[in-house]
Structure 1
Amino acid sequence: MSSLPSGRLLFDTGIYIRFSRGDGYEWLSEDASVFQRTILTAVVAAELYAGAGDYREKRALDRLCRAHLSLGYLVSPPATSWIEAGILLRRASGTFGHLDFAHHFRDVLIALEAVREEATLVTENTRDFERWRALLASANKTLRLVDASRAS
């Protein structure tokens, strides 16, 4: 996949969902080097498990998690990231107005994990993640984003 930047990648949950349904991103299975530099955060894994439709999907997720674990690329937010996510969401509500914290909390954790792991976040949800990028920039943190729908 030539349009992805070099270095570590972190795919948002929606990318895995569309790929698993055969609804795009076939290149994920065609280029082993992409997988070998992809971070899987436990936040994304939990969202995927929560949405697993049947035992077959659950087993596929088990394999995905084991593969990332064997590469050392299955990560989980530390306590400080959870606290920082709460602080950022409080600041966001002051900047952007009322937010549904439960709806955005996982996205903020995913963004923080991408920053912590120095990975580029690949997502279709650029509108929300652009907001988190701006908020993180005000805290001197750099979130690198790629719009997956424009990647080929």
Structure 2
Amino acid sequence: MATVSPEVVDNMYETGKRLVYAFDEYEEGLWAFNAVLKVEPTHLDSWIGKGVALHQLKRYDEALEAYEKAISLNSTRAGLWSSKGSTLIKLKRYEEAIEALDIALEIDPNYKFALYDKSEALYALGRDAEASELSAKADSIPWK
């Protein structure tokens, strides 16, 4: 395999990031993230971007794998755990989603996305009182 300069890797990642986050071009962004991961398999942000792209493409099992790989590289980001929880909700794996979202909330107790997603999972399990309480807490926190 040919050596690829860090600048090329950074440019490819930035291309994927723009395609996914700015233009909603998920297939193309996924291609860019996979290109980065082919030469730099531990590129954390490419695993995150890959997870986002796959989630948006409704390829939830693959998105979950990408988020789990990202978490294996850095387990201290609330957003990663929250994204894993959100994906588990899409797969209707509510108890597992709550476990992931609880970790996100241990890292950042005021992480709005995790609060809203945990509330959604609790509602799905019929735990309406808990869900309502979490929704109210999330609503009281200003967006960053």
**TM-score above 0.5:** no
Considering fraction of residues, name the structure with more strand: 1
In our comparison, the structure showing a higher alpha carbon Rg is: 2
Report the structure, 1 or 2, having the larger helix content. Answer: 2
Normalized against structure 2, the TM-score is what?
Answer: 0.30
